[in-house]
């Protein structure tokens, strides 16, 4: 992105419109981060970008889970901006991004994200997904392996033993006291933006998507990261998922909960750096 496009500049390409502005979100310093709005026929995309420093490392793209937006990646993303071009979009239907009509299934989220990556000409990137975002990324990697240098799946859903929406919500309640209180300042506004009806719909879609059926077809390196104290993506599921991947490895973060990108950012940043060091640079 040209440096001259700071401060509300506008670029139109066909039916797509871009707008950039300095970040106004708490915790995302304007000296490092831009806000981007991309309007396409299907959706309005909001994203946070830190791309001002030259680098030979592959880009990093962070993909959030159900209901919550990309805002909760702030602690780990800020630790990586010195060495990586970093992209934190809100998937349309959550956060500040919007779908033109209805809501997107997991497959539609994966296709939409692939198109968004194509629009930015990122090439093979290190894609980091938390919770339901991991399901979106494994689906994307099956269809568009050319966009994936490596995957980092953080507390991935969905553990087959969860079974029902009620049981998954029970696990979520058990996780609440294990997360930092600051996460509520992000999660509650995001829940309001998404709406409980759409949030339940996304959760049901996640439970209905048995991604075990596609794991053995993934031809890209994958690191599955679990939290020692995560009641949602339990360690048994992390081990089973990593074992089903042709190029899978597992890491269990001591003391970590489900949203370790917010509660254990330094440990996760070290894992992402190690993965990126073994990954080819993108476009």
Cβ atoms of 257 and 263 closer than 8 Å:
yes
Angle 33-37-40 from CA coordinates, rounded to 5°: 150
CA distance 139 to 218: 9
Going from the N-terminus, what domains does the chain have, and what CATH number goes with each? 44-277 (3.40.50.1820)
Strand partners, 129: 63, 153
Beta-strand relationship, 34-39 and 43-50: antiparallel
Both tokens of 174, joined, read: 């058990």
CA distance 262 to 59: 20
Residue position matching structure tokens 């053995």 = 216
CA distance 247 to 207: 24
Task: Calculate the alpha carbon distances from 263 to 5, 74, 132, 258, 277 in Å.
Answer: 33, 11, 18, 9, 24
CA distance 254 to 78: 22
Both tokens of 228, joined, read: 């020692």
Cβ atoms of 77 and 62 closer than 8 Å:
yes
pLDDT tens track of the chain, all 283 residues?
433 333 333 334 445 677 777 777 888 888 889 999 999 889 999 999 998 778 888 999 999 998 899 999 999 999 999 999 999 999 999 999 999 887 899 999 999 999 999 999 999 999 999 999 999 999 999 999 999 999 999 999 888 887 777 787 788 878 788 888 888 889 889 888 888 888 788 878 877 888 999 999 999 999 999 999 999 999 999 999 999 999 999 999 999 999 999 999 999 999 999 999 987 664 4
């Amino acid at each position: 992105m040209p440096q001259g496009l700071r401060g509300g500049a506008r670029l139109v390409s066909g039916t797509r419109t871009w707008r950039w502005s300095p970040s106004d979100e708490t915790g995302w310093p304007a000296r490092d981060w831009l806000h981007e709005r991309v309007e396409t026929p299907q959706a309005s995309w909001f994203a946070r970008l830190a791309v001002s420093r030259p680098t030979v490392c592959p880009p990093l793209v962070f993909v959030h889970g159900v209901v919550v937006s990309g805002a909760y990646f702030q602690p780990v993303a800020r630790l990586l901006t010195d060495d990586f071009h970093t992209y934190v979009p809100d998937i349309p239907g959550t956060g500040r991004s919007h779908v033109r009509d209805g809501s997107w299934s997991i497959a539609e989220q994966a296709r939409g994200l692939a198109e968004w990556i194509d629009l930015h000409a990122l090439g093979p990137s290190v894609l980091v997904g938390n919770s339901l975002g991991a399901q979106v990324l494994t689906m994307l990697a099956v269809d568009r392996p050319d966009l994936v240098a490596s995957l980092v799946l953080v507390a991935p859903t969905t553990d087959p033993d969860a079974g029902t929406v009620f049981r998954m919500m029970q696990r979520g309640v058990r996780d609440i006291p294990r997360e930092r209180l600051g996460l509520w300042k992000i999660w509650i506004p995001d829940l309001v933006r998404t709406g409980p009806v759409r949030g339940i719909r996304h959760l049901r879609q996640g439970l209905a998507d048995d991604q075990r059926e596609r794991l053995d077809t993934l031809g890209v390196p994958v690191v599955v990261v679990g939290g020692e104290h995560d009641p949602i993506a339990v360690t048994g599921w992390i081990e089973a998922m990593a074992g089903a991947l042709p190029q899978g490895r597992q890491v269990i973060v001591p003391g970590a909960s489900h949203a370790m990108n917010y509660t254990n950012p330094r440990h996760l940043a070290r894992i992402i750096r190690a993965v990126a060091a073994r990954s080819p640079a993108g476009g």
